[in-house]
Amino acid sequence: MARGTLSIVAGLAVWMVVVTAVGSMMRAAWPAYASVADAMTFTPAMMMARLSIGAVATLVMGSVTAAISRRSMLATLLSGVVLLLVFIPEHISLWEKFPVWYHLTFLVSLVPLSYLGGAIVRLRRPLVPARV
């Protein structure tokens, strides 16, 4: 139980670090993006870039959660559910700033991408250590 909880907290923390770091790099490397970021008046290409960052961060979150929880499918799914529950109110408050496709793409992808990130870890590690 404690390992599962720790894995979810760690996965969410890693999600925040990835989004913050890559978002900062995007602002530095893309002056047009940086100029509209505060007003959130993004072009479709900018919205796709933001969704891509979120997707990568969510895959990494699922991987971290699975690795720490010893590949618990439940912990991996719960990390995606927690992220979804956190972002539903945020997206409701931003509903007018973005098109519906943006909100739905982000929100609907959180749990499956979290699961997929965990599945990658589960597939890459053998369940039983090899005997020599």
| Average pLDDT for 100-123 | 96
Q: How far is CA 100 from CA 68, 79, 97, 106, 117, in A?
A: 35, 24, 10, 10, 25
Q: pTM for the complete prediction?
A: 0.91
**Predicted local distance difference test score (pLDDT) of residue 26:** 97
> Residue 86: is its pLDDT beyond 80?
yes
> Residue 122: is its pLDDT beyond 90?
no
Residue 7's contacts (CB-CB under 8 Å, 6 or more residues apart) are 64, 65, 66, 67, 68, 69, 72, 75, 79
> Residue 124: is its pLDDT beyond 80?
no
> Residue 127: is its pLDDT beyond 70?
no
Q: How confident is the model at residue 120 (pLDDT cuts 50, 70, 90)?
A: very high
Q: What digits encode the pLDDT tens for the residues 89-110?
A: 999 999 999 999 999 999 999 9
**Predicted local distance difference test score (pLDDT) of residue 126:** 59
Angle (CA) 34-40-46 rounded to 5° is: 60
Query: What average pLDDT does the structure give for the chain?
Result: 93
- Stronger pLDDT, 71 or 111, i.e. the higher one: 111
Give the pair of three-digit tokens for residue 18.
Answer: 């990835």
**Predicted local distance difference test score (pLDDT) of residue 70:** 87
